[in-house]
């Protein structure tokens, strides 16, 4: 009986979602009076810090051929057997949700994805998640003794609670992957949208791609990631990966600033789990104001530069 956390890395760097999963696993282990362990693929040079978020031991798998559901499933289950885990935690990232189901199937375990709070162990394992585009919360009970949970991003506040540990190599050799990764293209430097804590998003109210400078300025001042509404991505004003909403990325940042976005239900579906929403729109009747915490009625071409100035002033006074 223990908890195993899968940690995703990019070029050896541990993502924030990974630290959240680690800390979440640590809290579950504390609830169950057991220990928590971590497993990762590839370079473990930066993995010592996992100890600070509760890992008692950290295992790495010597493998760098890219993501394959089969290999990742086998590797994680090999680590689970090594540490005697009965709960596996995986962050709800693109790759995480791509193999969590296989892990559950091979382990014959119940699985709930995108869990947003700590489980309760009073009667089986009960967990909650947001469903129907954020319009309801479902409470599930897992009836198997083994369970796989994926953790929605930004669901818990991480805290350091232990000391570093030295990673050890897992005694398991991966076979040849069935899926060959030929190429990987990511926009360097930026925090990817699903992990961003602060997001500045803009819609058709911007009138054209040439006007995005003011949005980028604001994002830069806040050190936020940029996003957009669907028509903006569809017409090629902004790259496709910035598209949030029901048919795009669903996000849950601490702060979502919506600029010139009307707040259609399909857009809200991807953003209404944000902690704080600021809406800037010239139309006081824009539906987005109903979902907002703070609203500014005004011309975005006037409001956004003013907000950027105010942010810069605040940052320099800190």
Ligand X SMILES: Cc1cc2nc3c(=O)[nH]c(=O)nc-3n(C[C@H](O)[C@H](O)[C@H](O)COP(=O)(O)OP(=O)(O)OC[C@H]3O[C@@H](n4cnc5c(N)ncnc54)[C@H](O)[C@@H]3O)c2cc1C
Considering only residues 252 to 281 of the shown chain, the ones binding other proteins according to CB under 8 A are 254-255, 265-266, 269, 275-276, 278-279
Write the DSSP symbol of residue 54.
T
Q: How far is the CB of 166 from other proteins (least distance, A)?
A: 28
**Site residues (CB under 6 A) for ligand X, limited to 230-269:** 230-232, 245-248, 260-262, 264, 266-267
Residue identified by tokens 């295992």 is 59
> Among 33, 182, 210, 236, which residue interacts with other proteins (rule: CB under 8 A)?
182
CA-based torsion, 80, 90, 1, 159: positive or negative: positive
E-assigned strand segments in 205-315? 225-228, 255-259, 276-281, 294-297
Q: How far is the CB of 203 from ligand X (least distance, A)?
A: 2
Residue 81 in the binding site for other proteins (CB under 8 A): no
CA-based torsion, 178, 184, 190, 194: positive or negative: negative
Q: How far is the CB of 39 from ligand X (least distance, A)?
A: 34
DSSP notation for 113-141? EEE-S--B-SSSEEEEEEETTTTEEEEEE
Residue 241 in the binding site for other proteins (CB under 8 A): yes
Residue 148, both tokens: 């796989």
Is 100 buried (19+), middle (13-18) or exposed (0-12) by CB count in 10 A? buried
Q: How far is the CB of 141 from other proteins (least distance, A)?
A: 5
> Among 27, 30, 158, 297, which residue interacts with other proteins (rule: CB under 8 A)?
297
Q: How far is the CB of 15 from ligand X (least distance, A)?
A: 24
Strand partners, 255: 198, 276
> Among 28, 87, 127, 286, which residue interacts with ligand X (rule: CB under 6 A)?
286
Q: How far is the CB of 79 from ligand X (least distance, A)?
A: 36
> Among 112, 165, 170, 228, which residue interacts with other proteins (rule: CB under 8 A)?
112
Residue identified by tokens 């696993």 is 25
> Among 2, 102, 116, 201, which residue interacts with other proteins (rule: CB under 8 A)?
102
The four Cα atoms 157, 160, 161, 162 give a dihedral, to 10 degrees, of 150
Interface with ligand X by CB under 6 A: which residues? 203-205, 229-232, 245-248, 260-262, 264, 266-267, 270, 281-283, 286, 299-301
């Amino acid at each position: 009986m223990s908890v195993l956390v899968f940690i995703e890395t990019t070029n050896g760097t541990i993502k924030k979602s990974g630290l959240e999963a680690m800390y979440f696993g640590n809290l579950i282990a504390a609830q169950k009076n057991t220990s928590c362990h971590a497993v990762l693929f590839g370079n473990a040079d930066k993995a010592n810090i996992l100890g600070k978020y509760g890992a008692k031991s950290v295992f790495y798998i010597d493998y760098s051929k890219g993501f394959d559901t089969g290999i990742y499933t086998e590797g994680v289950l090999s680590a689970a057997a090594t540490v005697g885990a009965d709960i596996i935690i995986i962050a709800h990232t693109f790759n995480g949700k791509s193999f969590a189901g296989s892990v559950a199937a091979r382990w014959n375990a119940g699985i709930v994805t995108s869990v947003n709070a700590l489980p309760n162990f009073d009667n089986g394992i009960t967990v909650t998640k947001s469903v129907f585009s954020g319009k309801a919360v479902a409470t599930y009970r897992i009836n198997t003794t083994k369970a796989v949970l994926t953790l929605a991003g930004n669901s818990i506040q991480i805290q350091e609670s232990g000391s570093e540990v030295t990673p050890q190599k897992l005694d398991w050799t991966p076979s040849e992957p069935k899926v060959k990764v030929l190429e990987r293209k990511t926009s360097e430097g930026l925090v990817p949208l699903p992990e961003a804590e602060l997001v500045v998003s803009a819609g058709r109210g911007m009138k054209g791609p040439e006007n995005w400078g003011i949005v980028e300025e604001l994002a830069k001042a806040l050190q936020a990631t940029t996003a957009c509404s669907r028509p903006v991505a569809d017409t090629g004003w902004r790259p496709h990966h910035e598209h949030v909403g029901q048919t795009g990325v669903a996000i849950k940042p601490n702060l979502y600033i919506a600029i010139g976005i009307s707040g259609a239900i399909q857009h809200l579906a991807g953003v209404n789990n944000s902690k704080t929403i600021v809406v800037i729109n010239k139309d006081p009747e824009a539906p987005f104001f109903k979902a907002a915490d703070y609203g500014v009625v005004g011309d975005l071409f006037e409001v956004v530069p003013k907000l950027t100035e105010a942010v810069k002033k605040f940052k320099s006074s800190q």
